[in-house]
């Protein structure tokens, strides 16, 4: 997985933050696919590497997320941002390992469930109390 991320990080599009990130995800079908951050001049539209990798996997029909690696050119390993934790939790079980690696080889590893405890998931939606549909007309 690390080799896949290492070959992708040069393609990160991060001219604004100059903080390139590559993510490699192992999917249920055994494929390891990369994503990089893709920034935009309209800053909030920027896409994180982890979400880019999830989109690649979903688009190709590769199944659930089984492992995640995040590669950054930093002094210390970088863990996924809060939004990416939420997106990863939609596609991966709490036991999924998330390994954060620096270009220099520093490593940290966490479980997805530890990065996002008490996650809001699709089954959370089932807990809503019933409301009659509102007639807006």
For ligand THU, which is the closer residue by CB, 21 or 101?
Answer: 21
Q: Under a CB-based contact definition with an 8 Å cutoff, are residues 136 and 110 in contact? A: no
Positions touching ligand THU (CB under 6 A) are 14, 17, 19, 21, 37, 39, 46, 48-50, 70, 78, 80-81, 84
Instruction: Name the phi and psi angles at 68, rounded to 5.
Output: -130, 140
Which of 2, 50, 76, 109 is an active site residue?
A: 50
Place of tokens 């807990």: 127
d(CA 109, CA 127): 32
For the bound state, the minimum distance from the C-beta of residue 24 to ligand THU, rounded and expressed in Å, comes to 13
DSSP assignment letter at 16: T
Closest contact distance (angstroms) between CB of 62 and ligand THU is 20
Query: What beta strand segments (E) does 73-128 contain?
Result: 97-102, 107-111
Least CB distance to ligand THU at residue 20 (A): 8
Active site residue 50: yes
Residues labelled as active-site residues: 50
């Amino acid at each position: 997985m690390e080799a896949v991320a290492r070959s992708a990080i040069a393609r990160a599009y991060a001219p604004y933050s100059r903080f390139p990130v590559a993510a490699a995800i192992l999917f249920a079908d055994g494929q390891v696919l990369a994503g990089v951050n893709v920034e935009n001049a309209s800053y909030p539209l920027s896409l994180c590497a982890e979400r880019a990798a999830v989109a690649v996997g979903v688009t190709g029909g590769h199944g659930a997320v089984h492992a995640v690696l995040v590669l950054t050119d930093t002094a210390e390993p970088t863990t996924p941002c809060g939004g990416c934790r939420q997106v990863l939790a939609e596609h991966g079980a709490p036991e999924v390992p998330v390994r954060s690696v620096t270009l220099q080889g520093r490593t940290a590893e966490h479980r997805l469930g530890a990065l996002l405890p008490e996650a809001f998931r699709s089954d959370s939606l089932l807990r809503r109390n019933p409301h009659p549909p509102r007639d807006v007309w």
